[in-house]
Structure 1
Amino acid sequence: MKKAKLLSLCLAGAMLFSGCAPKSDAPVDDKTGMTAGTYEATAKGFGGDLKISVTVDADKITAIDVLENSETEAIGGAALPTLVQEVLDSQSIAIDTVSGATVTSNGFIEALKDALTQAGADLDKMSQAVTGNTEKETVELTTDILVIGAGGAGLTASLSALQEGNKVVLLEKMSFAGGASSMAGAGTTATGSKWQIESGYEDSPEMLKADMLANGHNYNDEATLDIFVNTVGAAFDWLVDPEGANVEYDNSEPGRTYSGVGRGAGVVKTLLQRVEDAGGDVYLNTAGTELIIENGKVVGAKAESKDKIYTINAKAVILATGGFGANDELVPAEYQEFVYAGAAGATGDAIEMTKAVDADLINMEFVNVQPNSIVMPSGLGQYCNPGVGGAYATSGAFLVNENGVRFANEQGKAYDLIQAMKQNKTNYLILDQASFDAFNKGMIGSAIYTEENVKEWLENNGSSNPVMVKGETLEDLAKTLNLPEGSLTAAAEKYNADVAAGTDEFGRKLTVEISNDGPYYAVQMWLRYYATLGGLHINDQMQVLNTKQEAVDGLFAAGEVVGGLEGDIYYGGSLFGWAMTSGRNAGVSASSMIK
């Protein structure tokens, strides 16, 4: 649990909350109804209980402290200060939730209401929206390089440009930096890096390219792929170099990828600090809205915040606004049958902005889909790789469809499992006690959820997401899931017979039986989509190309907004690796072209 004193309003959690007695016996104010003092309250946030203290005097709220929270550090945790400040500034609980951190926001608001109720506040009055001057201030800025989007790619682009001696303005429309990178595991491709070479691990740009082409079924844009495989090593060297980005990575296990310490949230936090320390001007809650074009050259952009409209003049603009997974108008309908698991801010902003320069778009029909997912209470998909990996290795665990029948090699290629799951109406992971414990150990150890969450979800008995059900016998489990009578028992008997043979009809190597003794568990598994694989077409200098395949002067792109790298499915470690590599390349390239 984290304890922090925050100056901005917290993103409130869900519905249940409890309060503590006030720490003051001061008289009640006739005007506001509040008794001066400090009041504590707890509500459900995204990751668990969210506890706050609210201090009031007779007239207003004077302080809000977040005492405990288990929110995702770079998302809900990062949004808390913004919301605290909104409440203190407005003296109202009628504040907007933070996009991308809605569950945290709602939980905070519930806790805030509880604390104010204890203080005797008139919640009807405090629920009135504050109205004032709606006219926005106009502001003009001038910089060398303007970066739009403060995810992994935008942060590395900004830091690289700053280290090249440029003045940099970095815009982020959300209230927190990080984007999709803050949600990632931070496995980062490092082919050709010093770490990899020194370890003796056998790899090369040619090998990486061949593997990514095969994985992406040759739908990759080879020119974009060549940029990545030939520069990722140098970019990773810079990323971990004390004289470069100086981001902490784990070097204990040599391989094609290395993992950032603290996962994506930790990498993003470090990069943001590096950008600020280097003198970058970071504007949160400020969205880029329109490119400024003079004689065919991009010379800046317009942007907008809650109370300001900006005109930002720049020698070069780098677009790092992320993908378009959260924009149903751009995501092909076939993918919308699955659950979305990406960043709330991934709405394809750059796709709209670059219509003015006739930007070329490639691979817009491809969106990354992955198996092994649950649906969290927020409605977002959540990957379960840490859980399923442990479950399959520990004891008997297998997938069944709506007929209670196994249908695939659960440990095979992700692409093959995806195709198999697409054929089913419903998919369940069936576990015995040992594999269920291993599943939760992996998920809890990755800070995805808590033991308290597991207890609550089992008590819900499949009535809400995530569906997590317990049965003393396989027949009990089948009945709860409305699977055909005897189906799970038959599936388990067939599975154990295959264990004796060492393999099954799907090619999975089986070594451990599912237990003959209960209890048993089922977790509903979903296909999730998140990263979009299409976007802007670029050249080897990271410049955006128009439909005539000409470089747009002054305009660069990095990260998920660029299309063509992956083909029709992503290759492990390459998304985060591309964010770091393309951001680094764009920052250096833009710097060289404006000198």
Structure 2
Amino acid sequence: MVQSNFDIIVVGAGNAALCAAIAAREKGASVLVLERGPKQKRGGNSFFTDGAIRTAYNGLDDIRKIIPSITDEEAEKIHVPVYSETEYYDDLMRVTKGQSDPQLAKQLVTQSYKTIQWMQGHGIEFELNYENQSFEKDGKRIFWGGLPLKTNDKGVGLIRKLNERVIELGIEVWYETRATELKLENNQIKSIVVQQEGKELTINTTSIVLACGGFEADKKLRSEFIGEEWNAAIVRGTEYNTGEGLTMALAVGAQKYGQWSGCHSIGTDYNAPKVGDFTKPGDIFKKHSYPLSIMLNKDGNRFVDEGADFRNYTYAKYGREILKQPDHVAYQIYDSQVRPYLRKEYDLEEATIYQADTLEELANLLPVNQAQFLKTIEEYNHSVQEGNYNPTEKDGKGTDGITPPKSNWALRIEQGPFYAFPVTCGITFSFGGIHVNTVGEVLNEEEAPIAGLFAAGEMVGGIFYENYPGGSGLMSGSVYGKLAGTSAASYALENRRDTVTQ
């Protein structure tokens, strides 16, 4: 029997979990982090993110506080529009069709910038998102879409810096330790059961923060809650998000909350790994320049309005539209006019690409209905309306007379060479979760807190429905991770008990 003194146990080791652990430790609580995977696969889905993080801010001065290395000379050459809390909230409500829990949404938005500052204070480094969220115009870099910030070195850098801080603060981490059951006594958290090296251990504690993700990596749960067709989806992130945290919470009375039939999914390279490859991190397989493309399925037909909005507001729902297509595949088509505007991931050696000097030759390279493929492109070209093409804004340069339309960024596909990038659906995280309040306490069916139980990250239900604004998932993990860790520390220190590992 080993004597321990952990006030708080955090389940998971991604962004939300480590933010919770750090927040709890800075309040004086002793903290143990449990990670199901081995050390070389730590970080959860956060390891695979490109690091874009959505926060409200009042212009460039706020951004320079987060990135003090921006020089006056650099500042003169960039334009970063104000992105207010009202705009953030409205974007969240717009893309979720008003379904996001107003209290949880407001907390996410109003705490976003403060949480970014807090993260910076703990050594997390940020940089301008030049690569994916800006275009050059009139000699300036114009940032767009409310997403100018990203973590340095993407999710890899975020997880590295968070773990460095965990070590500095003396937080203990147990790898290859799988949490399986929560134990209550007198309706309060008493202990957690884990499996470690083939043995079952019960760890007594005062408070637990669950931050171990959704169920997107479990085929059975995907099929049960989202639909059987989701068995064909690629799992973009960690293989360890199999819903066990949700199962444990529901077993002790947590209220199921949010859209269990929904998920974040994207168009990803058709030949991407079937689960996240920790040797190739950084979200390198996504294909997110599709608003500048037209997308055709193997029957040679378009199926979405590629230019309905900036990719920030459509990419998380268009993955499921690709999944619905024959053989779960679509082809993003570009010509040489647009090719220079494509994001960096299109130039990586991992990208699957077909190239030809004519559209007929391109069609011959693809397993598609060639006649319909060429007919669709011809009809699209005839429908393109005149106007000023401007990828930095919704330019209104659309089509007329075709279904679906293309509302913005419509250029005729007519200048060779021509390119096709095959994509399929990659699932990122499930939207269904458990109900927490605005400080991260897990609520039961009567919407009362379960004493000593907190949750954060992708386990929080009720914020995202159908879709989400890009970068808000990472921000939600940070905000609710910090809140849950802080709340858990306050609870634990008020109810501190001796803890024993059996």
TM-score normalised by L of structure 1: 0.66
CA shift, 1:239, in A, is 0.8
Question: Does the 8 Å CA contact 1:360/1:547 hold for their aligned counterparts?
Answer: yes
Partner amino acid, structure 2, of 1:484: N
CA distance in 1, matches of 2:53, 2:298: 37
Report SS of the residue matched to 2:221.
Answer: coil
Alignment equivalent of 1:173, drawn from 30, 36, 41 = 36
CA distance in 1, matches of 2:440, 2:59: 24
| Change beyond 3 A, Cα 1:516–1:264 | closer
Alignment equivalent of 1:259, drawn from 128, 147, 150 = 150
Report whether the alignment pairs 1:333 with 2:227.
yes
Alignment equivalent of 2:359, drawn from 474, 491, 502 = 474
Instruction: Provide Cα deviations, 1:43-94, integer angstroms capped at 9, x if missing partner.
Output: xxxxxxxxxxxxxxxxxxxxxxxxxxxxxxxxxxxxxxxxxxxxxxxxxxxx
CA distance in 2, matches of 1:485, 1:369: 32
Alignment equivalent of 1:311, drawn from 202, 214, 229 = 202
| Change beyond 3 A, Cα 1:498–1:283 | same
Report SS of the residue matched to 2:206.
Answer: strand
CA distance in 2, matches of 1:188, 1:485: 41
CA distance in 1, matches of 2:81, 2:333: 37
CA distance in 2, matches of 1:232, 1:571: 14
Partner amino acid, structure 2, of 1:428: Y
CA shift, 1:238, in A, is 0.4
CA distance in 2, matches of 1:263, 1:173: 23
Aligned to 2:479: 581
Aligned to 2:333: 430
Instruction: Provide Cα deviations, 1:523-545, integer angstroms capped at 9, x if missing partner.
Output: 22223322111111112221111
Question: Does the 8 Å CA contact 1:140/1:311 hold for their aligned counterparts?
Answer: no
Alignment equivalent of 2:25, drawn from 144, 162, 166 = 162
Aligned to 2:95: 215
CA distance in 2, matches of 1:272, 1:357: 30
Report whether the alignment pairs 1:361 with 2:224.
no
Aligned to 1:591: 489
- The correspondence of residues 229-240 of structure 1 with structure 2, limited to 5 A, is 229-240=109-120
Identical positions, percent: 25
Report whether the alignment pairs 1:375 with 2:270.
yes
Report SS of the residue matched to 2:111.
Answer: helix
- The correspondence of residues 517-532 of structure 1 with structure 2, limited to 5 A, is 517-518=416-417, 520-532=418-430
- The correspondence of residues 335-354 of structure 1 with structure 2, limited to 5 A, is 335-354=230-249
Report SS of the residue matched to 1:486.
Answer: helix
CA distance in 2, matches of 1:510, 1:544: 44
Report SS of the residue matched to 1:501.
Answer: coil
Aligned to 1:184: 49
Partner amino acid, structure 1, of 2:195: E
User: Which consecutive residues of structure 2, in runs of 5 or more, have no partner in the other structure?
Assistant: 65-79, 131-142, 277-281, 388-397, 494-502
CA shift, 1:478, in A, is 2.5
Report SS of the residue matched to 2:190.
Answer: strand
Report SS of the residue matched to 1:593.
Answer: helix
Aligned to 1:442: 344
CA distance in 2, matches of 1:151, 1:230: 23
Partner amino acid, structure 2, of 1:530: T
CA shift, 1:309, in A, is 3.5
CA distance in 2, matches of 1:427, 1:259: 29
Report whether the alignment pairs 1:514 with 2:413.
yes
Question: Does the 8 Å CA contact 1:498/1:510 hold for their aligned counterparts?
Answer: no
CA shift, 1:342, in A, is 3.1
Q: RCO (CA 8 Å, sep 6+): is it higher in 1 or 2?
A: 2
Aligned to 1:226: 106
Size of the alignment, in residue pairs?
432
Report SS of the residue matched to 1:329.
Answer: helix
| Change beyond 3 A, Cα 1:537–1:197 | same
CA shift, 1:521, in A, is 3.6
Question: Does the 8 Å CA contact 2:266/2:427 hold for their aligned counterparts?
Answer: no
Report SS of the residue matched to 1:150.
Answer: coil
Partner amino acid, structure 2, of 1:486: A
CA distance in 2, matches of 1:369, 1:583: 20
* Range 550-559 or range 190-199, more displaced: 190-199
CA shift, 1:434, in A, is 6.6
CA distance in 1, matches of 2:243, 2:318: 28
CA distance in 2, matches of 1:547, 1:202: 40
Aligned to 2:189: 298
* Range 138-147 or range 531-540, more displaced: 138-147
CA distance in 1, matches of 2:198, 2:58: 45
Aligned to 1:248: 125
Report SS of the residue matched to 2:5.
Answer: strand
Question: Does the 8 Å CA contact 1:142/1:313 hold for their aligned counterparts?
Answer: no
Question: Does the 8 Å CA contact 2:337/2:415 hold for their aligned counterparts?
Answer: no
Supply the RMSD in Å over aligned alpha carbons.
3.1
Which structure's CA Rg is the greater one?
1
Instruction: Provide Cα deviations, 1:4-32, integer angstroms capped at 9, x if missing partner.
Output: xxxxxxxxxxxxxxxxxxxxxxxxxxxxx
User: Which consecutive residues of structure 1, in runs of 5 or more, have no partner in the other structure?
Assistant: 1-137, 455-465
Question: Does the 8 Å CA contact 1:367/1:529 hold for their aligned counterparts?
Answer: no
Partner amino acid, structure 2, of 1:169: L
Alignment equivalent of 2:468, drawn from 553, 561, 570 = 570
CA distance in 1, matches of 2:427, 2:335: 28
CA distance in 2, matches of 1:343, 1:285: 14
CA distance in 1, matches of 2:305, 2:415: 22
Partner amino acid, structure 1, of 2:386: A
CA distance in 2, matches of 1:423, 1:252: 32
Report SS of the residue matched to 2:28.
Answer: coil
CA distance in 1, matches of 2:33, 2:442: 19
CA distance in 2, matches of 1:356, 1:388: 39
CA distance in 1, matches of 2:196, 2:382: 63
CA shift, 1:411, in A, is 2.7
CA shift, 1:301, in A, is 1.2
Instruction: Provide Cα deviations, 1:306-337, integer angstroms capped at 9, x if missing partner.
Output: 25443322221111111110122322215445
| Change beyond 3 A, Cα 1:561–1:401 | same
| Change beyond 3 A, Cα 1:342–1:500 | same
* Range 493-502 or range 560-569, more displaced: 493-502
| Change beyond 3 A, Cα 1:434–1:267 | same
Report SS of the residue matched to 1:219.
Answer: coil
CA distance in 2, matches of 1:405, 1:524: 14
| Change beyond 3 A, Cα 1:399–1:305 | same
